Every structure is written in C-alpha cells, then in structure tokens.
Structure 1
Amino acid sequence: MTAAALRRLAAVPALPHRTLRLRLTMLYGALFLISGVAVLTITYVLVRHNSGHLVVVKLDQLPGAGDQPAPPLPDLDAMRSQAGDQRSRMLSQLLTQSGVALAIMSVLSIGLGWLMAGRALRPLRTMTASARRISHHNLHERLAMEGPRDEMKDLGDTIDELLGRLEEAFASQRRFVANASHELRTPLAMMRTSVDVATGKPEPVPPQVAALGDKVREGLDQAERLLESFLMLARAQHGTVDERDRVALAPLVAAALDSLGDGIAERGIRVEQDVGDAAIDGNRTLLARLVDNLMDNAIRHNEPGGWVRIRATQREESTELVVENGGAHLTPGDVRALAEPFRRLGGHRVRSADGQGLGLSIVAAVAAAHGGDLHLEARADGGMRASVTVPLVVLAVAVGIR
C-alpha cells in the first residue's frame, strides 16, 4: 500500500463507539419505524378496500319521481372511470402524506429515544463513575444509589455489598501481616539470644560453631529486616496518615545518603544534589522510609563509577524530588513489576544480596497512604524513573536506573 493510500485511510473518520445508549436509541427508532409502517399498511389496505365501490341509483325509484319523465341516464362507464381516477389519486396522496409523516416522526422518535435512553441510563453512568473512583485505597466508599427500588438500585446495592466484602478481605490481609510480623519478633529474639549465649561461653568455641553462629546471625538480621519491612508496609497500607507535619526534604535526603555512604564510597558513585527548601506535608516516619527506599534503590541498582543526581523543586501546590542514576537498560514490563511485593530486577524471588523486594512496594503504599500514587517509567537511555505524586502538596520523586 502506498503512502498516499495510507494517508487517505488514516483520514477516514472512525465509526462512533457503539454505546448502550446508542444501541437503545436505534432499537427505539427501529421499533417505531416498524410499528408506523405496520399501521400505515393496515390503514392503506382498509381505505383501498372501502373506497372501491360505485353506487348506482335508478331515478324512477326515488320518492316522487314516478309521475315525471325520466332524465337521460349518465354514461356508467365514464362514471366508473372518473371514480377510479379519483380513488387512485386519493390513495397516492394518502401514501405520500403518510410517508412524509412517518419520516418526520421517525426522526423525532430517534431524538426522543436518545433522550429517554440517556435518562434511563443516568444511574448506570453514575455507578460507573463512582466505581472507577474507588480503588483498594478507598474501599470504604460506596455507590449509595438513591431512587426507587428497581434493577438499577439492586445493581448498585449489590456492588456496595461486594465492595464491603473486598474491604474486609483487604483489612484482614493487612491485620494478618502486621500481627504475624509482631508475633515473629519474639522467637527471633529468643534465637538470637541462644546463639549469643552458645558462642559467648568462656571456654574456646570450635571454629565450626563460631562460623555457624555468624551464619545464623546473618539469617536473623535478614529476617528482622524483612519483618520490619512487613510492618512498615502494613502500616502504610492501613490507608491513614496521622501526625502530619511540615517535613523538609533536605534532612531526609541527607540522612538517606549518610546511611548509604559505605555503598556509595565502595562503588565510587558520584552524587549531585540540589534540594533547597522543598518540603512536604505528611508523616515524617513514613516519608523518611519512602526517601530511604528510593535512594537505596538508586544506589543498589547503579553501576560502579556511576552517578546520582538529586533535585527538589518547590512549587505553589506541589513539591518535586527527582533522583536519577546510571544503570542497566530496562524494559517497560520490568519496570511495571517493580512496585509489586517481592518483585526484583532479574527474577521473581527474593535474594538476600539485593534486598527483600519490598522497597518500591513500601514506596507505593506510603504514597497511597498520603492520597497519591507511584508511577514507574524506564528511561530511554537506560534506567528507571519513579514518580510519587501526592495531592495538595505533591511529592514527585523520580528515580533513575540506567
């Protein structure tokens, strides 16, 4: 196909979207048209049948005409011909006028059908808009349909019941994660104490026991970090933020860089920052963890001798924090999966060397707890861009992995 043909094909307007309202309108119009044609056909047949008789009356049978001379009789054939012509003209005029009336009423019926379909589907549009607004972050909201007890209200009430069951399921899952994380801390503490006692005796400890103790401590450290991440994730997913303060970004970024200083120095990463006086309204602990996880993600997936750029901008109704770094090329599919729990680059399971796979999940949960969301995007020249947007005071954090 030539380029000109492709341009002509692209210029052809697309067919309108076949919505339910459009289908109902066409159905109403088709039903009216069929009913109108049927009525006009019956009327035409009846008129044609009843107008086909010619009545001839003899003059000598009229009252008082017996003593008078009879006038000459008219030509019956001419009368029949004249009556037939008049009947044909009447039937033709009936068809023409009925067709015009049917066409006008068909157009009016389509317009009225469009209005009536829109009115009938108005509750459905309201339910659709409300259902689109409700997500796992605001499952407490309901459609709360008003009006008579009809099919639309039954559908709205059924959706509200479904949302209630979903809300309870999400709440049960979060309570389980939080309670299980709390309960597991006690046995982990007992295990750590037992290892410390076994390896801290006065008599010499065999090298194998000491190595085993170090290995157990390493596993306990990893388990405690995982439990701490679970607790933070459960808290963030609870959906509410208490203790909102005006939190400056500069101290959070400085603290995150300080905690990651060994990794930055070991890999020779160059850090550039311009945070200024940018600040966010929110929970200090949750926002600190959000910044820590984003910075840790940027350093962890960087390349030796790479770079990290941090920039914050305070706007009238938003704050933007951008963190970019060098790294490997990513596909859009890899980036979309990173916000899911236990999803990491290069695999679907957790590996201790690269973290628990909960970092960006916690970032997404913290953003959601502040009424925002997390957006991940692969950079064209390699790396990743993660942006967190919070309403009113917007926190937009972009993390790059190139």
Structure 2
Amino acid sequence: MVGLRGGTVGRRFTMLYATVFLLSGIGLIALIYLFSRSDLASSAPGQPPPGGPATGVAQHVLDLERQLADVHAQQSRQLLFGSLVAIAVMAAVSLLLGRILAAHVLRPLRLITATTRRISADNLDQRLAVAGPDDEVKELADTVDGLLKRLEASFAAQRRFVANASHELRTPLTTIRASLDVAVAKPQPAAQTVALADRVRTELDRVDRLLEGFLVLARAQHGVLPDRVPVALAALAGEALSARSAAVAERNLTVEAALTSEAWTRGSPALLSRLVQNLIDNAIVHNREGGWIRIATEDGAAVRLVVETGGSVLDQAQVDRLTQPFERLGTDRTGSQESSGLGLSIVAAIVSAHGGSLDLRVRPEGGLTVTAAMPPSDASDASHTSDDLQGSLGPLRATP
C-alpha cells in the first residue's frame, strides 16, 4: 500500500493494475483449489462392509478408488503448482502491461503538462488545443485553455490600463506645470510663490519620470517589438557613460570599461538603450562615494552586458526581489528621492521581451553584479561601423 500512496501517477497506476490482477488471480486459484478438494473428498475410497471380509470384487473396487484418489491428489498438486507458476509469470507481465497502459492513458496529461510549462506571461495567446473524444482529459484541456484565455485578457487589460493611465496623467501634469510658469512669470512674484513653484516642479519631475517608467514597463511587458534591428551593446554603453560623465565625476567614481565590438543583439534600440541606461544609473546612484564601477560586454552563445559595483555586503534573498516594481533594499541603496523603484523591473521586462535572462548576484566581498544575457545577432547588416564604435569606446577607459 505504500507504493500506491507515493511516487508518480504512472507508478501508482502500474502498481494498482498489478495488485488487482494478482488478487484476482489468487482468488480464482483459491476457488479452483477448493472445488478440486471437494471433488477429491467426494471421491474418497469406501470402506469394506463391517463384520465380513471383503470379496474379491469389492476389494478390486476399493483398489481402483484408491488409485483414482491418488491421481486426483496428484492432479490437484500439479494444478496448484502450475497456478503458482502462472501467477509469478503474470505478475511480471502485469507490471509491464500496467506500465504500458499507464503511459498510454497518461500521455495526453504529459502533453498538457509540457505545453502548459512552455506558456508564460509573454505567450498567453498559445492554447493546448487537445484533439480527441470528449472525455475527461479533453475536458481538462479545454478548462486550461479557458483559464489561459481569461489570463490573457486580464494581462492585456492590466497593461493597457497602465499605459493609458500613464499617458492620460501627463495632461494634468502639463497643465499644472504651465500654471506654475504663469504664476512665476508675473511681475515681482512673491518669494514664497517662487519657492513653492520650485518645490512643485521638482515633484512634477519625479512624477514624470515615474510615468515614463510605467510606459516603458508596459511596452516591455507587452512584448511587441516591431523595430527589431541589430544593436551593439557596447555602443549603447559608451553613449550612456558619456552622457553621465558629470554624475560619475560628482561622486568621484572609478569606471572600468571592457567593451567588445562583437557584442551584438537584435531588438528594439529604444528599449535596449533604456536597459543600458537603467543599469548604469543604478550603478551610479546606488554606490558609495569614491566607489567603482566595472562595465563589460561579452559575446558568444549569448551576448552579455555585465555591470559590477562595490559596496556593502547585501542579502541575496532581498536582491532577488529587486526585479519587482517598487522594491528597494533600503535607504542605503535608494540613493536619493529620485529613485522610483522601477529601474531593475524595467530592465527585467526588457530582457524578457528580447528572449534573454537577467541575473542579480551579490559579491561576497560586497556590492552587486548584474548580468543581462540576450541572444546574439550578426552585425553584418547593421549601419554601424567599427570606426564609430571605437570612437565611442575610446574615452571610456579613462578613470574619471
């Protein structure tokens, strides 16, 4: 009974089939043996009549009955032995047949399981579409298809809501900004009005960045990338570092760049540029004063962008949650009030939309290593030249 409670369904089905077969066989043999014993008892040799010697004919009859009883007993033993051998043989056969039947019965369930595992949030439009008679298995597959359809509609509605809400909120923000400009533009505005306007503008900038993050996140999660072209990660990293040279110098950070011109992937230039910018911004903002940053691109079976920083020792379990929106490690890594908590979640969504993977790994000596890996692409049909790329990489090897 222990074998029937544990293990896979196929194993339990095989054991159940073999157990039922053996019990049925043992019951059948027991009945045959009991009937044969009753026949043997009914045909037992008689006794000579009391009080007188047995005549020659009677004695001959008794001898025949004894011989017949011996034959029946021998046949009964042979029947019992043959039945036990047959049960032993059929036990092995029943296990084999049970395994074959279990595989045949459970094959549609394995197909459903394999197909369901391949379906994720990025391809909810796929369906099991199991063909065959209207049995319990097809009913289960149709139920899963209905669930996938409802999940697809729910995910699409959520993404549309985020994109539409982020877009619509820009209108009142623009109106508020224009009203502030009008108030400050009046002749000799009050000092309190100017201070309030500056504070509100700062908050409006934060909201603008947050809404922009929502828009990028919604687009990346939607997974629709019509503008796929070969993109050089090294060039994007060079542009992002050049644009942030002032921020690097302000925090007295040391930047080491090892960017290879062979690191090409295929995707959306706008989204991949945002990916690189977010990783570099994260490395700059969430860094200690006078710290260091290492940036490298690698080619091979997968194209990788690696951004490594020093710092305090972090907890891997907390770092693993950073790809979720609005997750932060704490005030020591939030850097400033400008952090929206969407940076790495946007990076994760962009990497996933490009068929890649994102790995966040804490360094034992302190700091964080972020690796974005994506499928490689040939750069032969790209408009970028190696001279332009080298021009982008030249100043990166200097230490700010």
* TM over 0.5, shorter chain: yes
Please give the alpha-carbon distance, in whole angstroms, between the structure 1 residues aligned to 2:359 and 2:280: 16
SS at match of 2:276: helix
1:361 aligns with 2:345: yes
SS at match of 2:312: coil
Partner of 1:13: none
Residue 41 of structure 2, aligned match among 49, 52, 57:
52
Residue 119 of structure 2, aligned match among 109, 112, 134:
134
Q: After alignment, is 128-137 or 84-93 more displaced?
A: 84-93
Residues 222, 352 of structure 1: 8 Å contact kept? no
Please give the alpha-carbon distance, in whole angstroms, between the structure 2 residues aligned to 1:133 and 1:357: 30
Pair 1:54–1:229, CA change in 2 (3 A): closer
Shift of residue 23, structure 1, vs aligned partner: 0.2
Shift of residue 393, structure 1, vs aligned partner: 4.2
Partner of 1:62: none
Partner of 1:253: 237
Please give the alpha-carbon distance, in whole angstroms, between the structure 1 residues aligned to 2:202 and 2:45: 121
Pair 1:72–1:177, CA change in 2 (3 A): closer
Partner of 1:26: 15
Residue type of the alignment partner of 1:255: E
Partner of 2:287: 302
Partner of 1:312: 297
Deviations 1:74-98 (A, max 9, x none): 2666555544443332222211111
Question: Residues 237-316 of structure 1 correspond to what in structure 2 (within 5 A)?
Answer: 237-277=221-261, 278-315=263-300
Partner of 2:166: 181
Residue type of the alignment partner of 1:226: L
Residue 150 of structure 2, aligned match among 158, 165, 177:
165
Identity of aligned residues (%): 47
Residue 213 of structure 1, aligned match among 190, 197, 203:
197
Q: After alignment, is 251-260 or 295-304 more displaced?
A: 251-260
SS at match of 2:87: helix
Residues 188, 220 of structure 1: 8 Å contact kept? yes
Q: Could you say which structure has the higher helix fraction? A: 2
1:97 aligns with 2:82: yes
Residues 270, 307 of structure 1: 8 Å contact kept? yes
SS at match of 1:74: helix
Residue type of the alignment partner of 1:18: G
RMSD between superposed Cα atoms in Å:
2.4
Pair 1:311–1:389, CA change in 2 (3 A): closer
Q: After alignment, is 75-84 or 140-149 more displaced?
A: 75-84
Please give the alpha-carbon distance, in whole angstroms, between the structure 2 residues aligned to 1:139 and 1:328: 40
Residues 240, 370 of structure 1: 8 Å contact kept? no
Aligned length: 364
Deviations 1:212-235 (A, max 9, x none): 111000011101111111111111
1:227 aligns with 2:216: no
Please give the alpha-carbon distance, in whole angstroms, between the structure 2 residues aligned to 1:295 and 1:166: 34
Pair 1:120–1:391, CA change in 2 (3 A): farther
Please give the alpha-carbon distance, in whole angstroms, between the structure 1 residues aligned to 2:127 and 2:43: 75
Shift of residue 262, structure 1, vs aligned partner: 2.6
Q: After alignment, is 123-132 or 364-373 more displaced?
A: 364-373
Residues 52, 87 of structure 1: 8 Å contact kept? no
| Structure 1, unpaired ranges of 5+ | 1-15, 58-69, 395-402
For CA contacts below 8 A with separation 6 or more, give which structure has more relative contact order: 2
Shift of residue 200, structure 1, vs aligned partner: 1.4
Residue type of the alignment partner of 1:34: L
Residue 324 of structure 1, aligned match among 308, 312, 318:
308
Pair 1:352–1:191, CA change in 2 (3 A): farther
Deviations 1:45-85 (A, max 9, x none): 1122123334889xxxxxxxxxxxx9554266655554444
SS at match of 2:372: strand
Residue type of the alignment partner of 2:172: P
Please give the alpha-carbon distance, in whole angstroms, between the structure 1 residues aligned to 2:234 and 2:56: 123
Partner of 1:345: 329
Partner of 1:40: 29
SS at match of 2:323: coil
Partner of 1:61: none
With normalisation by structure 2, the TM-score equals 0.85
Shift of residue 261, structure 1, vs aligned partner: 2.1
Please give the alpha-carbon distance, in whole angstroms, between the structure 1 residues aligned to 2:302 and 2:157: 34
| Structure 2, unpaired ranges of 5+ | 47-54, 379-400
Please give the alpha-carbon distance, in whole angstroms, between the structure 2 residues aligned to 1:143 and 1:388: 31
Please give the alpha-carbon distance, in whole angstroms, between the structure 1 residues aligned to 2:335 and 2:306: 28
Shift of residue 244, structure 1, vs aligned partner: 1.3
Partner of 2:356: 372
Please give the alpha-carbon distance, in whole angstroms, between the structure 2 residues aligned to 1:264 and 1:301: 12
